């Protein structure tokens, strides 16, 4: 895809999704980008319920319309691909009807199948993998429906056409939805096409929730105010009725509740009842954080929904699959990239005095030590000069040393680090089983010696060539954020998550974001 085409597509989708006037005059300007403390001030007039619902529905309806058009185009394009693969000439007919017309007639059924799989519901759009999983499931159902129709009606449709159309249409639908999501994220980072969120809670829990929402602008959850969960009511009986008033005064379409002792199950149920009729989404942040959906299920007991948290899996079939993928990916990369590795090695050797490879002891799974390989990106006296540069550490905690414009880095080393080319020799560590393609950052022994108790859980899995830390900011992350991301990966790793991280790594490396 050329830059011009990408720009044109982005501009067109932004124009469709991005709507002005989503808030009353004065309110939007006052609240957009304002801190939660300022946004907590009530507006002079409450939003009508109808306008409150229209705020959310306006951009969301248009975004869903975009997806419907893209899904239809995916099936039509898939039909053309299948026709080209199966027939020498376009327009071949079945019982007097051109195959292209049959594909066009199948579009409404395709869209209804996607709708039945709830791929257009707002809660699945914009974040996570659930949207893509539902599209894939809808494609499987559409294939089964077509197979049943062909059998019952005894159609003699070319199987080669079907085999070509449906996989191509599914792949195109997934790619187009991914592009639409990236455009939506871009629009949301500008502060539009967002959900207006009222955060309910007290103290540290509320602050953490607000901070998490603010750190993820692409989620579209923009905090416009906050309030306590309960307030004294008549007879000093705590009440949650004031939350409804705050929702209406701020025009919020989402209420996010931080866990806390002040909101027991009865109060939470009362809060949900008080919001009925407003068209407001209610989100509840559990006390147990950083546990992903696949490990969480609901077990109802006597009408009480209990969250069941499955143990993280560190052994079993998935481990075998992960190791097989590590071997195949690293082996293929070393084989295909051998000429590039040789050129980079020669460039490093000629650019400055010292060896081509940098070797360093790191800590792997279960605390085992191993030697990591990198292309040398620093001068040979880098370790000796570390002490004199300690005061320039960008990580004030001192566990990691990262310095912007580090004078120890060679000119070619800056280029290698920017695009992570210095880490390519670690493919040898992956192939030998000391590392994995995806995993936590491989730590130094000195870092492990300073670990807090929870940080040691990073050593339950093999360190990775890339990981959540790589696609979330790299060296721009604080030590606490790096540990949090690594622990999230350890607790929730899966082959699907690995594939997502590898995909995002390619974008992060190309942009060179967060590299030092």
Burial level of 204, CB count in 10 A (0-12/13-18/19+)? exposed
* 499: nearest Cα among 133, 18, 6: 133
283 vs 221: CA distance, rounded Å:
11
Name residue 374's beta-bridge partners.
Answer: 358
Q: 42, 246 in Cβ contact below 8 A?
A: yes
Q: What is the pLDDT of residue 332?
A: 94
- Across 33-42, 209-218, 258-267, 418-427, the highest mean pLDDT is recorded for 418-427
Q: Is the pLDDT of residue 283 over 70?
A: yes
Q: What is the pLDDT of residue 428?
A: 95
148 vs 157: CA distance, rounded Å:
13
Whole-model pTM: value is 0.66
Q: Can you tell me the mean pLDDT for 286-302?
A: 67
Give the residue with greater pLDDT, 304 vs 484: 484
Q: Is the pLDDT of residue 328 over 50?
A: yes
Residues 367-377 have pLDDT tens digits of: 999 999 999 98
Q: What is the pLDDT of residue 476?
A: 63
Which residues of 291-347 form beta strands (DSSP E)?
Answer: 296-301, 304-309
Q: Six-digit token pair at 245?
A: 């008033």
pLDDT band at 114 (very low <50, low <70, confident <90, very high): very high
Specify the range with the lowest mean pLDDT, choosing from 85-89, 256-260, 498-502. Answer: 85-89
pLDDT band at 333 (very low <50, low <70, confident <90, very high): very high
Specify the range with the lowest mean pLDDT, choosing from 26-35, 57-66, 130-139. Answer: 26-35
Give the residue with greater pLDDT, 434 vs 383: 434
Homologous superfamily of the 195-309 domain (CATH): Response regulator (3.40.50.2300)
Q: What is the pLDDT of residue 14?
A: 57
- CB count within 10 Å of CB 497 equals 17
Specify the range with the lowest mean pLDDT, choosing from 116-120, 253-257, 430-434, 496-500. Answer: 496-500
pLDDT band at 32 (very low <50, low <70, confident <90, very high): very low
Measure Cα distances from 475 to 86, 98, 232, 387 in Å: 50, 57, 47, 20
Mean of the per-residue pLDDT values of the chain: 78
315 vs 360: CA distance, rounded Å:
28
Specify the range with the lowest mean pLDDT, choosing from 22-31, 137-146, 242-251. Answer: 22-31
pLDDT band at 92 (very low <50, low <70, confident <90, very high): low
Residues 40-91 have pLDDT tens digits of: 434 334 445 455 455 556 788 889 999 999 999 999 888 887 667 655 444 5
Q: What is the pLDDT of residue 437?
A: 94
Q: Is the pLDDT of residue 231 over 70?
A: yes
* 142: nearest Cα among 188, 173, 178: 173
Q: Can you tell me the mean pLDDT for 13-23?
A: 49
The residue extents of the domains of the chain are 49-189, 195-309, 317-511
Q: Is the pLDDT of residue 317 over 90?
A: no
Residues 146-184 have pLDDT tens digits of: 877 767 766 666 565 666 678 889 999 999 999 999 899
- Across 6-15, 303-312, 352-361, the highest mean pLDDT is recorded for 352-361
Q: Can you tell me the mean pLDDT for 494-512?
A: 80
Q: What is the pLDDT of residue 5?
A: 44
Q: Is the pLDDT of residue 343 over 90?
A: yes
Determine what percent of the chain is predicted with pLDDT higher than 70: 72
3-state secondary structure of 227: strand
Q: What is the pLDDT of residue 424?
A: 93
Q: What is the pLDDT of residue 400?
A: 63
């Amino acid at each position: 895809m050329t830059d011009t085409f990408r720009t044109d597509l982005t501009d067109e989708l932004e124009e469709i999704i991005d709507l002005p006037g989503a808030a009353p005059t004065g309110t939007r300007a006052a609240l957009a980008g304002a801190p939660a403390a300022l946004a907590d001030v009530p507006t002079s007039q409450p939003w009508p319920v109808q306008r409150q619902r229209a705020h959310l529905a306006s951009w969301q309806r248009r975004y869903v319309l975009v997806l419907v058009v893209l899904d239809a185009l995916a099936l039509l394009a898939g039909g053309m691909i299948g026709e080209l693969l199966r027939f020498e000439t376009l327009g071949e007919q079945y019982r007097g009807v051109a195959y292209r017309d049959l594909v066009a007639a199948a579009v409404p059924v395709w869209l209804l199948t996607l709708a039945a799989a709830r791929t257009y519901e707002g809660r699945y759009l914009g974040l996570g993998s659930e949207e893509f999983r539902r599209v894939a499931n809808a494609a499987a159902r559409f294939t089964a429906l077509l197979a049943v129709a062909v059998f019952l009606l005894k159609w003699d449709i070319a199987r080669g056409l079907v085999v070509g159309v449906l996989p191509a249409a599914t792949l195109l639908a997934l790619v187009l939805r991914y592009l639409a999501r990236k455009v939506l994220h871009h629009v949301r980072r500008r502060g539009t096409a967002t959900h207006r969120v009222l955060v309910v809670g007290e103290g540290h829990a509320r602050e953490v929730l607000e901070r998490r929402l603010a750190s993820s602008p692409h989620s579209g959850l923009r905090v416009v105010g906050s309030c306590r969960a309960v307030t004294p009511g008549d007879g000093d009986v705590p009440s949650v009725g004031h939350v409804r008033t705050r929702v209406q005064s701020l025009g919020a379409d989402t209420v996010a509740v931080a866990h806390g002792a002040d909101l027991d199950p009865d109060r939470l149920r009362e809060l949900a009842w008080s919001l009925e009729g407003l068209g407001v989404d209610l989100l509840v942040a559990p006390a147990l954080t950083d546990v992903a959906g696949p490990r969480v299920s609901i077990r109802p007991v006597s009408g009480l929904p209990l969250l069941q948290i499955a143990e993280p899996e560190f052994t079993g079939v998935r481990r075998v699959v992960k190791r097989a993928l590590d071997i195949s990916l690293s082996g293929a990369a070393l084989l295909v990239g051998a000429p590039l590795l040789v050129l980079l090695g020669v460039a490093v050797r000629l650019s400055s005095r010292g060896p081509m490879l940098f070797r360093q002891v790191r800590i792997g799974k279960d605390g085992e030590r191993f030697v990591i390989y990198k292309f040398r990106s620093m001068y040979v006296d880098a370790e000796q000069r570390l002490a004199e540069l300690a005061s320039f550490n960008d990580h004030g905690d001192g566990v990691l040393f990262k310095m912007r414009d580090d004078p120890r880095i060679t000119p070619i080393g800056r280029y290698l680090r920017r695009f992570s080319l210095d880490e390519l020799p670690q493919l040898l560590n992956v192939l030998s089983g000391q590392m994995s393609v995806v995993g936590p950052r491989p730590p130094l022994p000195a870092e492990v010696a300073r670990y807090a108790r929870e940080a040691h859980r990073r050593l339950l899995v093999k360190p990775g060539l890339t990981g959540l830390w790589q696609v979330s900011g790299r060296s721009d992350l604080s030590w606490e954020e790096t540990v949090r991301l690594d622990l999230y990966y350890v607790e929730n790793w899966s082959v699907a998550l690995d594939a997502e991280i590898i995909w995002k790594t390619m974008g992060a490396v190309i942009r060179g974001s967060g590299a030092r």
